[in-house]
Amino acid sequence: MKKQYETITNKNYAGMKWGKLPENEKTELLSGANAVDGRTGNNMMGDGECTIDLSVYPFSVHGKVVGGEVMINDDAAIYSSEG
């Protein structure tokens, strides 16, 4: 039987709204995600607005870090970070 993450890695998330995803997909997408400072390209060192590079390359979404936790607005659109 295929593991769940193998199934979602083939999905095209570009243009999807974060809030429309099932909770299990959100959890998987965030499992290996990195919060990146859009100004420097470095990993976030504190709280603030950022780009969340999701665990399924090449997708990203706009979010923020608050108290060490990643927060993503339900209206945030997932996009391809390949351009």
Residue-wise pLDDT tens digits, 43-79? 999 999 999 999 887 899 999 999 999 999 999 999 9
Q: 36 pairs with which residues across the strands?
A: 43, 51
Residue-wise pLDDT tens digits, 4-43? 444 466 789 999 999 999 999 999 999 989 999 988 999 9
pLDDT attached to residue 8:
65
Instruction: Give the β-pairing of 59-66 and 69-71.
Output: antiparallel
Sequence spans of domains, the chain: 33-83
